[in-house]
Amino acid sequence: MPTTAGLVDENEETVEDVEMDAVYMAPEQLTDNMVTLSSQPKSKWQTLMNLATIKKRNMPEKPAQVPELAPFFLPTTVSVEHQFDFGTSDAANIPTDPTSSKLISVSSESQLARILYNAHTTRVYAPVFEYLKTLNPSAIDVEIRSLPVDDQLKALKAFVCATTCQLKSKRDFELAQAYLHVFIAVFTDIIKANARELEPLLAELRNELKAQWDTVDNLIRYSACMIEFMRTK
């Protein structure tokens, strides 16, 4: 249709329309050399690090009391007089077949342990953190505490390698710190008892953690100095 600028095709979008429709999506990491925080809520990793304190605070002051009267759903005997049948119990329904207990023990392996085993074999540790980011703080705590401890410490070694790899990628810096905090708090005694075996992996983790933290610490100090300079100028 005609305008002051001349004829404009109705099917042709103007520059303003294109600019308004375009939505800028920020990348997860601007450069490979930049330490990047995750997009997870701040309360998530803070809750994870203080989960023990939160659970202790939310514990009831008094334990649950057993009701004095018998519940109405107790089984009764088939007789003229109304009597409760205390001979039957749920324990009688539990199978005694040893094969069933084996199946239960195999299926009790956590999802995190299976992902760690696969990552340790393929040397691709990104799925470990991708899985943990989908869980809530309580589920993350349970998954880490449920890691199996065998003679070879395969799950613990894989978790240390996954954390080191995540720090090297310079992504999800605060999540790596929170997960490592829970891991060390849970397995402190095992790490001390097997320090010689875990020393190479822990040394690499310590060096990478120190390098990344020094970078973040220098940026924080630089920003604080600039803010103080601008405030007092």
pLDDT digits (tens, 9 = 90+) for 47-61: 888 777 777 777 777
Q: Looking at residue 96, what is its pLDDT? A: 52
Contact status, residue 37 vs residue 29, Cβ threshold 8 Å = no
Q: Looking at residue 83, what is its pLDDT? A: 65
pTM, to two decimals: 0.66
Weakly modelled stretches of the chain, pLDDT under 50: 91-94, 99-107
Q: Residue 145 corresponds to which tokens in the numbers above? A: 């505490």
10 Å CB burial of residue 29 (0-12, 13-18, 19+) is middle
